Copies of this chain bind each other. A is one copy, B any other.
């Protein structure tokens, strides 16, 4: 199913006058403070966040999974779902695939279908943390090696070769779809002291990554993700940004670090890590979600929206205002939908991201730098909080309107009974592949 611009405009009609009143009041307020609202909206319209194919069905925990009706069962249905979100929000113009869950039968057709919904193919994701049940026909031979004890770090060369080859094949599939990057997330690690030789495991991982990197087309990037724990509970080979940074530097200039908001130890200052990587020009990928305890994969902005703003403040500074030379990172939402309708959840995440981005965009960095130079800590805090406390939702709605999106995506979704239609089309019992 698709949502047409006409349908959205019908929905918007009754809400527009109210919206314009709020928008104009806010715009006046902001312009008075020197904010170029048109520029802010232009940037908001350009900002697109990829949706991963595995976030469209119900997630689960090790204790169980509660299914959700109308989950997408095929790659085409996943693209369809992202198309729905994008039509309503105009901010999810890309999908990020996971291999072997999303192997296209006819890449050209898949690419065309996605393009017809305004969607590009963002970073490709490989999977070396699970043993796949069926033989993977796209690979030259049946899987023979288990990833139980690691993949790129494995003590056995045959295991490493299998994992390296899998990544190369993921690149090839990505090339056929027009993707330009590969994300490598490794579960490799150990759950017990003594299990792993840390030095050797890291050296083997570096060698494997270099091998994968050698297969990368020259206009591609490789993102190396880090995570402190889970699914291993004593050590993870790439445990933090420092390790990811070291590996990326060794691989080459097209290798970058990937920050996932949920992949940090308690109390980590993530915004400072973001700033450091931007300073070095090495921030390549960014996974949005929120969490209270660990890698909880909750809706973006559901727990710590102020931290999200602080991170965006660094991103805006690093992308637009500092002397560093960091390319625009690949943005993606990486969440798990155990309790909410995944599409509603993703729309809430997109709204929280845009809000934080807009807050970051209205920060007056000239005034902020001045306060910093004077060590006026009170004023520096006031400047940030002033931006954070301003209600920028009318601006976000206006930017969405101008892109032909819905003023209120979630209410459109509910009023138009989209989930019910998906259930009708796909059934109650489908299960999306994924986590």
Residues on B with beta carbons closer than 8 Å to the beta carbon of A131: 64, 66
| A322 contacts chain B at the CB level, 8 A cutoff | yes
| A53 contacts chain B at the CB level, 8 A cutoff | no
* A193 B381 Cβ-Cβ under 8 A: yes
If the complex has contacts A239-B269, A292-B269, A391-B390, are A372 and B196 also in contact, measured as CB distance less than 8 A? Answer: yes
Tell me how many chains of this kind the complex includes. 4
* A381 B192 Cβ-Cβ under 8 A: yes
* A369 B197 Cβ-Cβ under 8 A: yes
Residues on B with beta carbons closer than 8 Å to the beta carbon of A293: 228-230, 233, 267, 294
Contact with B along A58-89 (1 / 0, CB 8 A): 01111110100000000000000000000000
* B148 A66 Cβ-Cβ under 8 A: yes
Contact with B along A154-178 (1 / 0, CB 8 A): 0100000000000000000000000
If the complex has contacts A25-B25, A280-B246, A303-B306, are A61 and B231 also in contact, measured as CB distance less than 8 A? Answer: yes
* B61 A155 Cβ-Cβ under 8 A: no
B-facing residues in A260-280 (Cβ within 8 Å): 265-269, 271-272, 275-276, 278-280
Contact with B along A370-396 (1 / 0, CB 8 A): 011101011011111100111101000
* A375 B155 Cβ-Cβ under 8 A: yes
CA–CA, A275 to B190, complex, Å?
A: 14
Nearest CB of chain B from residue A126's CB, rounded to whole Å: 14
* B317 A279 Cβ-Cβ under 8 A: no
* B381 A302 Cβ-Cβ under 8 A: yes
Residues on B with beta carbons closer than 8 Å to the beta carbon of A265: 265-268
| A130 contacts chain B at the CB level, 8 A cutoff | yes
CA–CA, A85 to B318, complex, Å?
A: 38
* B306 A304 Cβ-Cβ under 8 A: yes
| A27 contacts chain B at the CB level, 8 A cutoff | no
| A345 contacts chain B at the CB level, 8 A cutoff | yes
Nearest CB of chain B from residue A230's CB, rounded to whole Å: 7
Name the CB-closest residue of B to A268: B265
Nearest CB of chain B from residue A400's CB, rounded to whole Å: 16
B-facing residues in A300-346 (Cβ within 8 Å): 301-307, 310, 313-314, 317-318, 322, 324, 336, 338-341, 344-345
If the complex has contacts A193-B303, A240-B242, A276-B243, are A235 and B199 also in contact, measured as CB distance less than 8 A? Answer: no
Residues on B with beta carbons closer than 8 Å to the beta carbon of A196: 372
Name the CB-closest residue of B to A388: B305
CA–CA, A390 to B392, complex, Å?
A: 9
| A101 contacts chain B at the CB level, 8 A cutoff | no
If the complex has contacts A192-B302, A393-B389, are A382 and B410 also in contact, measured as CB distance less than 8 A? Answer: yes
CA–CA, A231 to B192, complex, Å?
A: 23
CA–CA, A313 to B197, complex, Å?
A: 11
| A143 contacts chain B at the CB level, 8 A cutoff | no
If the complex has contacts A229-B293, A235-B272, are A314 and B198 also in contact, measured as CB distance less than 8 A? Answer: yes
* B199 A322 Cβ-Cβ under 8 A: yes
| A40 contacts chain B at the CB level, 8 A cutoff | no
Interchain CB contact (< 8 A) of A242 among B62, B198, B243, B385: B243
* B348 A276 Cβ-Cβ under 8 A: no
Nearest CB of chain B from residue A105's CB, rounded to whole Å: 25
* A368 B199 Cβ-Cβ under 8 A: no
Nearest CB of chain B from residue A322's CB, rounded to whole Å: 6
* A267 B228 Cβ-Cβ under 8 A: yes
* A63 B435 Cβ-Cβ under 8 A: yes
CA–CA, A371 to B414, complex, Å?
A: 14
* B61 A193 Cβ-Cβ under 8 A: no
* A275 B245 Cβ-Cβ under 8 A: no
Closest 3 CB pairs of A and B: A242-B242, A198-B275, A233-B296
